[in-house]
Amino acid sequence: MARYDAFDRYAADHMPAWTDELAAYCAIGSEQSDHEALRAAATWTADRLSRLGATVDVVALDDETVPPLVVGEIGSGSALNAVQHYDVQPGVPLELWTTGPYLPEVRNGRLYARGAADNKGELLARMWAVEAYLATIGDLPCRIRFLVEGEEESGSTHFGPLLDRRPGLREADGALIEGGGIDLRGRPQVVSGVRGMVGMELVCRTIAYDAHSSLATLLPSATIRLVRALATLWDDEGVPVVDGLEAGVRPPTPAQLEILGRIPDDEIEDLKHVFGVDRFVAGLSGQAAIRALTFHTTCNVQGLWSGYTGPGDKTITPAEARARLDIRLVPDQDPAVVLQAVRDHFSRRGFGDIEIVPFSFQYRAWWTPPDHPIVTAAVRVSEEVLGKPTIHDLSAPGTAPMHEVCAAGNVPTTSLGGADDECRAHAPNESFRLDYAEAAVRMTGRFFDAFAAIPRGSRSSG
Amino acid sequence: MARYDAFDRYAADHMPAWTDELAAYCAIGSEQSDHEALRAAATWTADRLSRLGATVDVVALDDETVPPLVVGEIGSGSALNAVQHYDVQPGVPLELWTTGPYLPEVRNGRLYARGAADNKGELLARMWAVEAYLATIGDLPCRIRFLVEGEEESGSTHFGPLLDRRPGLREADGALIEGGGIDLRGRPQVVSGVRGMVGMELVCRTIAYDAHSSLATLLPSATIRLVRALATLWDDEGVPVVDGLEAGVRPPTPAQLEILGRIPDDEIEDLKHVFGVDRFVAGLSGQAAIRALTFHTTCNVQGLWSGYTGPGDKTITPAEARARLDIRLVPDQDPAVVLQAVRDHFSRRGFGDIEIVPFSFQYRAWWTPPDHPIVTAAVRVSEEVLGKPTIHDLSAPGTAPMHEVCAAGNVPTTSLGGADDECRAHAPNESFRLDYAEAAVRMTGRFFDAFAAIPRGSRSSG
């Protein structure tokens, strides 16, 4: 442990300054729709990587509206791709924030701001680990390559083409998912994979324009039609019953089930407290809930709107109704096949007139076998720093473009980081707990050594 | 006919100036949410009535935020309440207007603006009829009392209390609904009643705040729950199947069915062309459609929203979902009973947790027997001016606060006016056809005489 004494002191001493730095980064509201803020965030990221000593390469497409990929490379030896992003989820609904999403504020040991955890905090913690390592230990034992994109929250639409511009970027010995997790009991969470996703907008149109609602007896309402179509997607318990939703699912292996079996029930039950519910969907609990969260394809409505939604009321029968679905995939599901399954589901039920517009992006899942040394390394350093047993899961319930980065080179991947289960990523009052930010720095510094010790060529199919 | 020659010439000569006047009135965007515009519209209305020679009384409540009731009375003899309004439906969605809702423009013989038909055009046509009558025939043969409120489009919430301030206002020999109708074939439409209405907002909450959608397998989505609850309100054809929705419905009489039987099928079938549909709900057509439109309680969703509805996407599982329903009633339905029926419907299906917030207003229906002389008079003058047989219906499919005005004195009511089936009331590109505006003036002038000729005391239960 003596190896990291100075490193850990450096991290502790620098947390106040680093917190200010994170606040400055988060003050840039780099939402998908704000091109100027995205440019500012890209520049901020490139500057910070330069100050770290990294070789910086800002990769752009000919289309200037596409946020560039900021690449920062430092160190030598085994190559580790840190897959990050500088864009953030939209801040809305603004009225639910205690302070504005882009007015970062420290309260009760947490920095509150959109992006504080997802992903600016996790990204900076990795940069801080490099800084502390260089300042207190010496040259990095491996080559860290930060791949920081600006479209992660809107689907990484151009991440592939941007990577294609620099063919070497996908060549690596390992990859880090954008961050990591710490549960409500302070236990590290390590995942060795991510979900895929296919998203779509449903558009239902019935009449030429909104009608006076007195005609509702005769005129087909787009709202009612979409509601009735959507209602066929789940059973009475809210469990998806889309025909073919599970197409392509690779059955769980005994090894996978064994890994899941080690996860204590409280890990999943604690989510009930976080979200204020007595019961999960379909009454799932314990191991059944853990397996469902890992292996089941989701079918989520992220938004739904029709008719008049402003203050007061407006007596119309709506001509149009829209909903956006996101469906999270597992290996080896093909987004195109699942998209077609949704189309077929609606067609078979007489809703073939509902237009389905796929999002401009889709992901496949990418799972590394849970006993791969890169995963074991992440588990070990996390436990060393947090002093508690790791919750190891096969996959994050969420999505990240790891398949895009890793599949060509069959690069093994793991998570590592400090965002806790109360960070409210994607929700109002997102925050990053600052003592966990410091813990993330400490685990990441140790991970550099652990990763460097893995024999090169330990690749493993995703 | 010679009696009206000068009257008709006066109307024809004045249409250009009157059109400008209507444009000026419509330029005031007197939506529910715009208190300043409502005040401006009230003042404009009172000024116009004064210039007409009416005795004007602006009735207000102690609460200054309540738009006043503008009363203008002129003439002597039998009293006729013209029940009007100076407020308008919201102009949104603005992007669907060719010109802005408050930038009135004449195109192809129509004045386009929010409120052009509903109700500023219909109101002004009645004032113009008074003006023309006084200028060309002489003193009015009856007493016209304009009751112009400013909350009609938001539920006439304070219409009752405002009327209560001047006890004499409900005493009358007859009442005119806010306007009238002309079908696509130029035939007058006369209705001898209006629907009631009960409206409500449904609020579904499941989790404490929006969750990252990767947790959709476990966390109950408010969107899905509301969709599933709503889906129980209609059958596969989109016909309402709410338990108790028809509570209190007075069965049709043979006389009523006979009146409906005279309505030609094309009257209803033409609506298909207007709204671009091949088929009405449940395949209704002809007499069945006419009866349904008249006698069936509706169950309409006027708006629905949940989760993220902005540009791009946001991968959340929503914590809250909302919908607004409006239900149009027939005699003798009680809004409170129907509201309770909806509550019970949801409770019985396990959706008792969905909060139901009634709108601040509710109406009962008010139907005058179709053979009452006031109705016959409206039919006769309409046919005289338009030269085509009247489509006579028992009730407007829409709602107006006639029960509030007429029930205490058992005052018979009819419609009369010029808004045609393409006027797009409540929708983008609302307009008033100017030759029909002129026709409305002409029929209204004749109606004054016809109404004055009805023996006083010919009241009839609504």
- B406-445 per-position pLDDT tens digit: 999 999 999 999 999 899 988 899 999 999 999 999 999 9
CA distance A334 to A341: 11
Residue pairs spanning A and B at CB distance below 8 A: 311
Whether B459 shows a pLDDT value over 80: the answer reads no
Nearest to A219 among B92, B230, B277 (CB): B277
Six-digit token string for A136:
């207190």
Instruction: Note whether B144 and B57 are within 8 A (CB).
Output: no
Is residue B392 within 8 Å of residue B263, measured between CB atoms?
yes
Domain co-membership, A315 together with A181: no
Look at A161-165, B92-96, B161-165 and tell me which has the smallest mean pLDDT: B92-96
A231 interface with B at CB cutoff 8 Å: yes
Pair B76, B168 in one domain = yes
Place of tokens 């002004």: B124
Residue A292: list chain B partners with CB under 8 A. 217-218
> Shortest CA distance to B44 belongs to which of B100, B4, B98, B87?
B87
For B208, the token pair is 């404490």
Contact A33 B312 (CB under 8 A): yes
Query: B154 at the A interface (CB within 8 A)?
Result: yes
- Give residue B255's pLDDT band: very low, low, confident or very high (50, 70, 90): confident
Q: Residue A138 is encoded by which pair of tokens?
A: 């010496």
Up-side HSE of residue B260: CA atoms within 13 Å toward CB? 20
Query: What pLDDT is stored for residue A176 in this prediction?
Result: 98
- Per-residue model confidence (pLDDT) at position A1: 53
Rounded Cα distance between B294 and B393, Å, is 8
**Residue finishing a domain among B307, B338, B363:** B363
Last residue of a domain, one of A344, A363, A382: A363
With H, G, I as helix, E, B as strand and everything else as coil, classify residue B137: coil
Question: Do residues B85 and B157 lie in contact, with contact meaning Cβ atoms separated by under 8 Å?
Answer: no
Query: A398 is written with which tokens?
Result: 């969420």
What's the CATH number where B179 sits?
3.40.630.10
d(CA B125, CA B443): 10
A275 within a domain of the structure (yes/no): no
Tell me how crowded residue B241 is: count the other CB atoms within 10 A of its CB.
Answer: 13
Residues of B in contact with A154 (CB under 8 A): 312-313
Q: Are residues A345 and A389 in the same domain?
A: no
Q: Is A308 on the interface with B (CB under 8 A)?
A: yes
Same-domain check for residues A442 and A371: yes
CB contact residues (below 8 A), chain A span 105-124, against chain B:
none
B238–A227 CB contact, under 8 Å: no
Query: Coil, helix or strand for A220?
Result: coil
**Residue A323, domain CATH:** 3.30.70.360
CA distance A79 to A58: 19
Q: Is residue B275 part of a domain?
A: no
Q: What dihedral do alpha carbons A332, A414, A150, A32 form, nearest 10°?
A: 70
Dmax over CA atoms of chain B, in Å, equals 79
Give residue-wise pLDDT tens across range B187-197.
999 999 999 99
Q: Does B50 touch chain A (CB under 8 A)?
A: no
- Kindly tell me if the per-residue pLDDT of B447 is higher than 60: yes
Count of Cβ atoms closer than 10 Å to residue B124 Cβ: 25
Position B322, amino acid: R
B224 touches chain A (CB under 8 A): yes
**Tell me: the pLDDT tens digits for B205-243?**
999 999 989 899 999 999 999 999 999 999 999 999 999
B275 close to A (CB below 8 A):
yes
- Is the pLDDT at B462 greater than 50? The verdict is no
> Could A304 and B299 be called an inter-chain contact, meaning their C-beta atoms sit closer than 8 Å?
no
Q: Over the stretch B370-399, which tens digit does the pLDDT of each residue have?
A: 999 999 999 999 999 999 999 999 998 888
Residues of B in contact with A329 (CB under 8 A): none
Residues A217 and A332 in one domain: yes
Q: Inform me whether the C-beta atom of residue A274 falls under 8 Å from chain B C-beta atoms.
A: yes
**A447, part of any domain:** yes
Answer whether residue B231 is part of any domain: yes
Q: Helix, strand, coil proportions of chain B in percent (round to 5)?
A: 35, 20, 40
**Residues A73, A143: Cα–Cα separation, whole Å:** 7
Q: Do the beta carbons of residue A443 and residue A163 sit within 8 Å?
A: no
Residue B145 sits in the same domain as residue B239: no
pLDDT of amino acid B426? 84
Distance CA A360, CA B34 (A): 40
Residue to test with chain B: of A236, A313, A360, most B Cβ within 10 A: A313
Chain B residues whose beta carbon lies within 8 Å of the beta carbon of residue A231: 227-228, 230-231
Model pLDDT for residues B261-314, shown as the tens digit of each residue: 999 999 899 899 999 999 999 999 999 999 999 999 999 999 999 999 988 888
Residue B89 shares a structural domain with residue B236: no
Question: Is B193 an 8 Å CB contact of chain A?
Answer: no
Contact check, Cβ <8 Å, A424/B214: no
Residue A267: predicted pLDDT: 85
| In-domain check, residue B271 | no
Please indicate, yes or no, whether residues B28 and B172 belong to a single structural domain of this protein: yes
Contact between A303 and B308 using a beta-carbon 8 Å cutoff: yes
A275:B219 CB<8 A: yes
Mutate to test the interface with A, among B315, B360, B415 (most CBs of A within 10 A): B315
Q: Confirm or reject contact between A95 and chain B (CB < 8 A).
A: no
Task: Report angle CA A397, A400, A405 to the nearest 5 degrees.
Answer: 140
Nearest to B307 among A223, A304, A310 (CB): A304
Instruction: Give the range of the structural domain holding residue B212, as residue numbers without chain letter.
Output: 196-249+297-363
The count of domains in chain A is 2
- B188 and B207 in a common domain: no
**A157 shares contact with chain B (CB less than 8 Å):** no
User: Given A212, A304, A426, which is nearest B306 (Cβ)?
Assistant: A304
Question: Which pair of structure tokens corresponds to residue A128?
Answer: 């801080």
**Is A212 in Cβ contact with B316 (below 8 Å)?**
no
Q: In b/e form, how buried is each residue of A367-402, taking b as 16+ CB within 10 angstroms?
A: bbbbebbbbbbbbbbbbbbbeeebbbbbbbbbbbbb
The answer for residues whose C-beta is within 8 angstroms of residue A199's C-beta and 6 or more apart is A155, A302, A324, A325, A326, A327, A358, A359, A361, A362, B313, B315
User: Pick from B225, B220, B223, B226: which is nearest to B207 by CA?
Assistant: B220
Rg (CA), chain A: 23
Tokens matching residue B349:
């299906």
| Sheet-wide strand order for B355-363 | A355-363, A196-205, A320-329, A300-307, B300-307, B320-329, B196-205, B355-363
State residue B259 phi and psi, 5-degree precision.
-60, -45
Return the DSSP state at A441. Answer: H
> What's the half-sphere exposure (Cβ side, CA atoms, 13 Å) at B188?
32
- What the block records as the tokens of B249 is 């419905």
Residues B143 and B212 in one domain: no
Q: Which residues of A touch B216 (CB under 8 A)?
A: 298-300, 328
Rg, C-alpha atoms of chain B: 23
Side chain identity at residue B148, one-letter code: V
CA distance B154 to B360: 9
Q: CA-CA distance, A307 to A315, in Å (whole number)?
A: 9
Give the number of other CB atoms < 10 A from CB of residue A75: 21
Q: Do B426 and A218 lie within an 8 Å CB cutoff?
A: no
Pair (B185, B212) in one structural domain: no
B294 to chain A: nearest residue by CA? A217
Q: Is B285 left (phi over 0), alpha (psi -120 to 50) or beta?
A: beta
Tell me how close the Cα of B229 comes to any Cα of chain A, in angstroms: 9
Question: Do the beta carbons of residue A155 and residue B313 sit within 8 Å?
Answer: yes
Any domain includes B177:
yes
Chain B CB within 8 Å of residue A194 CB: no
Query: CB–CB of A307/A318 below 8 Å?
Result: yes
Residue A189 Cα, gap to closest chain B Cα (Å): 15
- CB < 8 Å from A in window 19-38 of B: 32-33
The nearest CA of chain B is from the CA of A452 a distance in Å of: 32
Q: Which of residues 347-376 of A touch B (CB under 8 A)?
A: 359
Q: Tell me which chain A residues have a C-beta less than 8 angstroms from the C-beta of B209.
A: 96, 275, 424, 427-428
Amino acid at A352: G
Partners of B300 on chain A (C-beta within 8 Å) are 213, 216, 221, 315, 317
* Torsion sign across C-alpha atoms A294, A295, A301, A303: positive
A270 found inside a domain: no
Query: Which residue in chain B is spatially nearest to A313 when comparing CA positions?
Result: B154
Query: Cα–Cα distance between A438 and B283 in angstroms, integer?
Result: 66
Per-residue pLDDT of chain A (462 residues; tens, 9 = 90+): 589 999 999 999 999 999 999 999 999 999 999 999 999 999 999 999 999 999 999 999 999 999 999 999 999 999 999 999 999 999 998 999 999 999 999 999 999 999 999 999 999 999 999 999 999 999 999 999 999 999 999 889 999 999 999 999 999 999 999 999 999 899 999 999 999 999 999 999 999 999 989 999 999 999 999 999 999 999 999 999 999 999 999 999 888 999 999 999 998 998 999 999 999 999 999 999 999 999 999 999 999 999 999 888 888 999 999 999 999 999 999 999 999 999 999 999 999 999 999 998 899 999 999 999 999 999 999 999 999 999 999 998 888 999 999 999 999 999 999 999 899 988 899 999 999 999 999 999 999 999 999 998 765 544
pLDDT of residue A462: 47
Tell me: do A307 and A169 sit in the same domain.
no
Of A158, A185, A343, the closest CA to residue A264 belongs to A185
Angle of helix B5-26 relative to helix B120-136, nearest 10 degrees?
A: 150
| Whether B121 contacts B111, CB under 8 Å | yes
Is B298 an 8 Å CB contact of chain A?
Answer: yes
Residue A245 distance to chain B (closest CA, Å): 13
Stretch 372-401 of chain A: residues touching chain B, C-beta under 8 Å: 396-399
What are the DSSP calls for A34-87, one per residue?
-HHHHHHHHHHHHHHHHHHT-EEEEE--SSTTSPPEEEEEE--SSEEEEEEES-
User: Is B282 within a domain?
Assistant: no
Domain's final residue, options A335, A363, A391: A363
By Cβ distance, the residue of A212, A268, A298 closest to B426 is A212
Taking CA–CA distances from B230, the nearest residue in chain A reads A227
User: In the numeric block, which tokens belong to residue B169?
Assistant: 């206002």
Alpha carbon distance A135, A148 (integer Å): 23
Q: Considering only CB atoms, which chain A residues are within 8 Å of B208?
A: 274-277
Residue carrying the six token digits 């680990």 = A129
**Is A280 close to B210, i.e. CB distance below 8 A?**
no
Task: Give chain B positions within 8 Å (CB) of A221.
Answer: 238, 300-301
